Amino acid sequence: MESMLLPELSPYPQHIVRVPELTSVPFTDRVRALIDHPWFQRLRNVRQLGLTHLVYPGATHSRFEHSLGVYAHTIRYVHALMSDPRFRDTMTEYDLSCILLAALLHDIGQFPFAHAFEEIRQDLFRHERYSRLFITGGIEEYLGEPSCSESIRDRIVAHWNVEPDDVAAMLSLEVAPVRISEDKRGILHSIIDGPVDADKMDYLFRDSIHTGVPYGRFLDTDRFLQSLTVDPVGRNVLALSEKGRICAELFLICRYAMFSEVYWHHTVRALSSMARFAVRAFLRVRLEEERPGALIGTMLTRSDDALLTWLGENGPPEAGRMVKRIFARSIYRRLLVLRADEGDLEVYGQLSDLRWRRPGEEYAAFKTRFVARIARLLSINLSEEELLIDIPDPDTDRIGSVNVIPEYKDKPEALAQVSHLWASIREDFPRWVRKIRIFCSPERRAALLSRGEEKLREALEEALKE
């Protein structure tokens, strides 16, 4: 079979590299050529979970390690899918080379605090954009000067004999494939970007190991891969046989628990809000002065701590003060928490809409009104720097669905429709995980709580009405 000629799919790889936990990543010389590229090596200095290590001390693992893990998991997905003739008989060596490259390079455009930057200016800071530019060769032109004598694109062309645009098309459905049909692209894309993809399988398990929590380790990986197949009704995505239903539900439970207890832990969200404040303060005064390519170049070439220091030193005073707080672990504290539930639903919806659906000036004006009302309530001077509002983007980290093919039936069923567990978690996720939190500086918390939570809620609602 042509696809099995790929050396990366050999059961006896040329080389392996060990990554936690007890994972052997197959290595070939041409994989090594990409990993040894300076742009890939820099991922060693980008922490996978940003500031989470200030809450979970072990969470210092890198995007480099995660990239190797996703590549290794993608190989396992491909091996598992070879048992399905709809996959085995249609995929070529070229197709599978593209998905392996996409898995390895999917985070090549990541930089420190990328998600904090993205929440402020998605058009400029979306890291997927820069991953595509690295792969297709446009990054050097964008940054304004060649940074390496040989680009990532050069090494793809020299060693893999594929169109770089086809690799980029694996990462984004916005990129048109050159030599791969849309049907095959859809299936391959869902291996690394879907409800139960190789990316999520790796980060749930890996982040659980490094944070020291058990939640992401409950995946029944072997059984899951055994049940992996192609959706038979022409949706051109992955599906699962019925024996994989429990595995898929475990997958979702792991994700739900990791978001609740790690990714959106209240202290992690407080630290993320502090970082966003520093980023926003910096961009407010420096974005027009900085050429976008030069700014992105700075972010791509600095480690987490170095970039945070640079923002503090080159931004306005309030950015510097917030950065110092982060390094000193003077973390903001919860003042008020709103859930998408009966008592808070209306205010929750208004805040979410104001932050994510309305012009940015309207949200900024609301924040100024709210801080002013709280200051009058307590008869104190209170700056916007001392009160941070964390409103998660309702369009990110959504829980999709995956089709399951029942035994003795040809027609697949959407797990979100037939699994009460899946449906319940989809319903509970915004209520219990996607909370809106208002944080304040630790020095102000006692005074702000002295008038009672109801007074704070009244001030919030009145500021929304104005």
Q: What's the average model confidence in pLDDT over 43-60?
A: 98
Residue 4: predicted pLDDT: 57
The pLDDT value given to residue 23: 79
Interatomic CA distance for residues 137 and 154, integer angstroms: 8
HEC letters along the chain: CHHHHCHHHCCCCCEEEEECCCEEEEECHHHHHHHCCHHHHHHHHCECCHHHHHCCCCCCCEHHHHHHHHHHHHHHHHHHHCCCHHHHCCCCHHHHHHHHHHHHHCCCCCCCCHHHHHHHCHHHHCHHHHHHHHHHCCHHHHHCCCCCCCCHHHHHHHHHCCCHHHHHHHHCCCCCCCCCCHHHHHHHHHHHCCCCCHHHHHHHHHHHHHHCCCHHHCCCHHHHHHCEEECCCCCCCEEEEHHHHHHHHHHHHHHHHHHHHHHCCHHHHHHHHHHHHHHHHHHHHHCCCCCHHHHHHHHHCCCHHHHHHHHHHHCCHHHHHHHHHHHHCCCCEEEEEECCCCCCHHHHHHHHHHHHCCCHHHHHHHHHHHHHHHHHHHCCCCCHHHEEEECCCCCCCCCCCCEEECCCCCCCEEHHHHCHHHHHHHHHHHHHHCCEEEEECCCCHHHHHCCCHHHHHHHHHHHHHC
Predicted pLDDT of residue 397: 85
pLDDT score of 303: 97
Residue pointed to by tokens 């990110």: 396
**C-alpha span between 458 and 172 (Å, rounded):** 44
Q: pLDDT tens digit string along 191-241?
A: 999 999 999 999 999 999 999 999 999 999 999 999 999 998 867 899 999
Mean pLDDT of 249-256: 96
- Beta strand 403-405 with 238-241 is parallel
Average pLDDT over residues 368-382: 91
Section 374-379 average pLDDT: 88
- Geometric angle at alpha carbon 284, from 281 and 290, rounded to 5°: 115
Please tell me the least confidently modeled range out of 119-128, 144-153, 264-273: 144-153
CB 133 within 8 A of CB 139: yes
Is the pLDDT at 171 greater than 80? The verdict is yes
pLDDT greater than 60 at residue 3: no
Query: Do the beta carbons of residue 72 and residue 84 sit within 8 Å?
Result: no
Q: How confident is the model at residue 408 (pLDDT cuts 50, 70, 90)?
A: confident
User: What CATH fold (topology level) applies to the domain 2-263?
Assistant: Hypothetical protein af1432 (1.10.3210)
Of 313-327, 348-362, 406-420, the least confident: 406-420
The rounded distance, in Å, linking the Cα atoms of 174 and 154 is 23
The pLDDT value given to residue 147 = 63
**pLDDT tens-digit series, residues 436-465:** 999 999 999 999 998 888 999 999 999 999
pLDDT-based confidence at residue 186 (cuts at 50, 70, 90): very high
pLDDT for res 148: 72
The pLDDT value given to residue 433: 94
> Mean pLDDT over all residues of the chain?
93
- What integer pLDDT is reported at residue 128 of this predicted model? 92
pLDDT band at 264 (very low <50, low <70, confident <90, very high): very high
- CA–CA gap between residue 244 and residue 225 (Å, rounded): 8
The neighbour count for residue 381, using CB atoms within 10 Å, is: 7
Percentage of the chain exceeding pLDDT 70: 98
Domain residue ranges of the chain, discontinuous segments joined by + = 2-263, 332-397+434-466
Count of residues for the chain?
466
Number of Cβ within 10 Å of residue 339's Cβ equals 16
Angle made by CA atoms 338, 343, 348, in degrees to the nearest 5: 40
Tens of pLDDT, residues 129-155: 999 999 999 898 888 866 677 899 999
Per-residue confidence (pLDDT) for residue 377, from 0 to 100:
84
